């Protein structure tokens, strides 16, 4: 099973960017989402931003992941 995690994009410079999740900053590839802009939420899997998601959906998914971690 593969899991893509919603992250907030902080920087976008060509095909690369920096995204934030849980206070950590990670390098991401934006090859599949050249339209992504800082402030957007993107689903990241294996270092690649795969899809844009709205903030509400991103927060809901992050909350579910937090709950799973606690149990």
| Cα–Cα distance, 20 to 25 (Å, whole number) | 4
pLDDT cut 90: percent of the chain above it: 80
Looking from the CA of 22 toward its CB, the CA atoms found within 13 Å total: 7
pLDDT in tens, 37-57: 999 999 999 999 999 999 999
- Token duo for residue 52: 């844009």
Distance from the first to the final alpha carbon of the chain: 19
Pick left, alpha or beta for residue 23 (phi over 0 → left; psi -120 to 50 → alpha; otherwise beta).
Answer: left
Of the options 3.40.50.300, 2.30.30.140, 2.40.50.140, 3.90.190.10, the CATH number for the domain spanning 5-70: 2.30.30.140
pLDDT at 28: 98
Contact 55, 34 (CB under 8 A): no
pLDDT < 70 regions, the chain = 1
């Amino acid at each position: 099973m593969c899991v893509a995690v919603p992250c907030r994009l902080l920087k976008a410079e060509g095909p690369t960017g920096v995204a934030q999740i849980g206070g950590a900053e990670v390098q991401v590839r934006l090859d599949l989402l050249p339209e992504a802009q800082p402030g957007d939420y993107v689903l990241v899997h294996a270092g690649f931003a795969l899809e844009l998601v709205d903030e509400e959906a991103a927060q809901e998914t992050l909350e579910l992941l937090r709950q799973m971690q606690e149990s």
